[in-house]
Amino acid sequence: MARKSIKSDAVKLKGETAKKAPPLPAGADQPTNYAEQQGHGGETRQTTSDAALTMTTQQGIPIADAQNSLKAGLRGPTLLEDFILREKIFHFDHERIPERVVHARGYGAHGVFELTDSLADYTRADVLSTVGQQTEVFVRFSTVAGNKGSRDLARDVRGFAVKMYTKQGNWDIVGNNIPVFFIPGRDQFPT
């Protein structure tokens, strides 16, 4: 038995008509090789052979259709087996990013680190071995215990962090400074 095309298999319910996909706007990215198919409800499904244009889940699994969910029958309830829908609901529900617990208040700057003297005798790190090499860095100064609205003069530990974006991977250097000890006197020091 020969397999029928998807268009001829489409179920047309009473009062419904097959829908055509709207034309792409001018300048939109168009896949080099695509095929339009229609699902059971007349919706357009597009597939592509270009790996760069394939939509995936968070785990990298290719998705053929992200607009519709799995249902029990044509008009039935949504099934819990639809992991793509569960993933979309999870991301929608968890979008709020809470404030940091520590080092919430801080200031940062982007820059470039350039090595002037080689330290190849002491390390194998490329960023400290090649003279003249420029490496992108991000530096952040912060207070440890204060939230975003805290005072600058609080009796608090200060944080200093450097992130170097090296060829071997990101290198994080973290430091703390205690300009004034956070316990006012020796009698109040916990033992």
Cα separation, 183 vs 186, in Å, equals 8
Which one of 103, 110, 170, 177 is the catalytic residue?
103
Which one of 91, 110, 147, 176 is the catalytic residue?
176
DSSP code per residue over 82-140: -HHHHHHHHHHHT---PPPSSS-SEEEEEEEEE--S--TTT---GGGTSTT-EEEEEEE
CB-based contact 145:156 (threshold 8 Å): yes
Cα separation, 45 vs 67, in Å, equals 9
User: Among this protein's residues, is 177 annotated catalytic?
Assistant: no
User: Among this protein's residues, is 176 annotated catalytic?
Assistant: yes
Give the catalytic positions in this structure.
103, 176
